[in-house]
Amino acid sequence: MVAAQICREADLCSTILSAADLSNADFSGADLSGADLSGAHMRSANLSAAKMLRANLRNAHLYRANLTGANLTGANLIRAVLTHAVLVGADLEEAGTLAAPRSSTATGCDRRAICAT
């Protein structure tokens, strides 16, 4: 797991973190634009106000993740697990999400894009 102190407001643009265990990590305010987080385990991660433009979150596990105010414009969320994720104020515009999201309890989705409900 990545230490929380290292990740806050970090510039992690285009970083490859696929299949990494990032559970409980604090990425609040971090720039993860273009990052490869496919298959990453981000249970209870704090991604509030994170910039995640065009990030690859395909098959990522975001169970109970805090995505409040995160910018996920153009992100790939196909088959991402968003169960109990908090998406209040999150921007999912043009996010490649899903005909059938694997979540029934995400809260506070921004309806400008497809919303996991």
Q: Percent of the chain having pLDDT more than 90? A: 67
- Which three-class secondary structure string do you get for the chain? CCCHHHHCCCECCCCECCCCECCCCECCCCECCCCECCCCECCCCECCCCECCCCECCCCECCCCECCCCECCCCECCCCECCCCECCCCECCCCECCCCCCCCCCECCCCCCCCCC
pLDDT of 4 > 80? The answer is no
Fold of 1-117: Pectate Lyase C-like (2.160.20)
Mean predicted lDDT score pLDDT of the chain: 83
Report, as an integer, the average pLDDT of 7-13: 81
Q: What is the pLDDT of residues 68-94, one digit of tens each?
A: 999 999 999 999 999 999 999 999 998
**Domain boundaries defined on the chain:** 1-117
Model confidence band, residue 107 (pLDDT cutoffs 50, 70, 90): low
Instruction: Choose among 38, 67, 72: nearest CA to 53.
Output: 72
Please give the residue that has the higher pLDDT: either 104 or 45.
45
pTM of the model: 0.78
User: Which amino acid, residue 106?
Assistant: A
